[in-house]
């Protein structure tokens, strides 16, 4: 059983999903926040995730912490999806899901929007998903629980794709980046959210406390995944991890 101390260690942002509905409060401004914090570069990161997903053979895709649907919308645009392709876009925030559903209203892709907690998804059957993706969500979760749940729902041989924060090399440049974010994020976040401090505090803490890509790869491997690899983007601000559930 995971101890409380281990849970805290593996929740980089210290965010409790059942105690703060912050993402419901900022749903209408979430995309603006992402653009401001990353100077719009997050769009490139998510396009890359969509490209990796499009290369994989899958029929059932589950996107965890889908937010306003950036990744699933790009998957639908990048890949000619047939009737046998089914996407489950899941998030714990109903208002985020509502935003994602509206954005997908003109798409012909088979997308189901479901309110699910990535830590535990009893509504998703064991070994029923071909590909599980999560983008920029692990930093506000107990990532060991989320990865364990991803392993459970994936079919043998199924693929895991994770986009998440990483560390810039060299170390001095990473420290400079964190210093910049520590100054800029509170100002930008306060303006964009109308003074809702919790939103950017969680994200800032998550960036500071999240492990490097190599360490996260080790965690994914220790969880039971194989063929674990990653690529860093934008000097290492983020990395995309891919792994497979053993067949």
**Cis peptide preceding 157, ω within 30 of 0:** no
According to the annotation, is 117 in a ligand binding site? yes
Indicate the average pLDDT of the chain: 86
CB 134 within 8 A of CB 117: no
pLDDT for res 33: 77
pTM of the model: 0.88
The reply to whether 68 sits in an annotated binding site is yes
Residue 222: pLDDT above 70?
Answer: yes
Quick: pLDDT tens for 121-149: 999 999 999 999 999 989 888 999 999 99
φ and ψ at 142, to 5 degrees? -80, 95
How far apart (Å, rounded) are the C-alpha atoms in residues 127 and 167? 33
The predicted model gives 55-82 an average pLDDT of 90
pLDDT tens, residue by residue, 72-127: 999 988 777 777 899 999 999 999 999 999 999 888 889 999 999 999 999 999 99
Does pLDDT of 199 surpass 70?
no
Tokens 């090399």 belong to which residue? 169
- What is the spatial distance between Cα 245 and Cα 181, in angstroms, rounded to a whole number? 35
User: Is residue 91 marked as binding?
Assistant: yes
101 is in an annotated binding site: no
Residue 163's DSSP bridge partners are 135, 240
- Bridge partners of 108? none
List, for residues 4-27, the tens digit of each pLDDT value. 333 434 765 455 655 556 777 777
pLDDT over threshold 60, residue 40 = yes
Question: What Å distances lie between residue 144 and 20, 41, 88, 151, 208, CA to CA?
Answer: 21, 27, 21, 11, 18
Ranges 31-35, 62-66, 101-105, 227-231: which has the least confidence? 31-35
Name all domains of the chain by residue range, CATH numbers in brackets. Answer: 4-244 (3.40.50.150)
pLDDT of residue 8: 38
Phi, psi angle pair for 164, to nearest 5°: -155, 165
Q: Cα separation of 148 and 151, whole Å?
A: 5
φ, ψ for residue 165, nearest 5 deg: -60, 150
Mean predicted confidence (pLDDT) in 41-68: 94
Question: CA angle, 72 as apex, 89 and 57 as ends, to 5°?
Answer: 100
176 annotated as ligand-binding: no
């Amino acid at each position: 059983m995971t101890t409380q101390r281990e849970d805290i260690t593996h929740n980089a942002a210290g965010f409790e999903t059942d105690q703060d509905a912050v993402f419901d409060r900022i749903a209408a401004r979430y995309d603006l926040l992402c653009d401001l914090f990353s100077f719009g570069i997050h769009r490139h990161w998510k396009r890359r995730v969509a490209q990796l997903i499009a290369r994989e053979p899958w029929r059932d895709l589950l996107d965890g912490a889908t937010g306003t649907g950036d990744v699933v919308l790009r998957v639908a645009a990048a890949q000619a999806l047939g009737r046998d392709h089914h996407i489950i876009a899941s998030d714990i925030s109903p208002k985020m899901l509502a935003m994602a559903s509206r954005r997908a209203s003109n798409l012909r892709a088979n997308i189901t929007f479901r309110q699910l907690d990535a830590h535990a998804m009893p509504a998703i059957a064991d070994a029923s998903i071909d590909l599980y993706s999560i983008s920029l969500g692990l930093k506000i979760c107990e990532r060991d629980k989320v990865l364990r749940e991803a392993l459970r729902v994936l079919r043998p041989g199924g693929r895991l794709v994770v986009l998440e924060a990483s560390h810039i090399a060299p170390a001095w440049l990473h420290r400079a980046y964190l210093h910049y974010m520590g100054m800029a994020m509170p100002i930008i976040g306060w303006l964009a959210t109308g003074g809702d401090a919790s939103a950017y505090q969680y994200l800032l803490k998550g960036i500071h406390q999240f492990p490097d890509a190599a360490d996260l790869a080790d965690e994914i491997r220790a969880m039971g995944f194989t063929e674990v690899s990653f690529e860093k983007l934008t000097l290492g601000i983020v990395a995309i991890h891919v792994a497979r559930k053993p067949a």
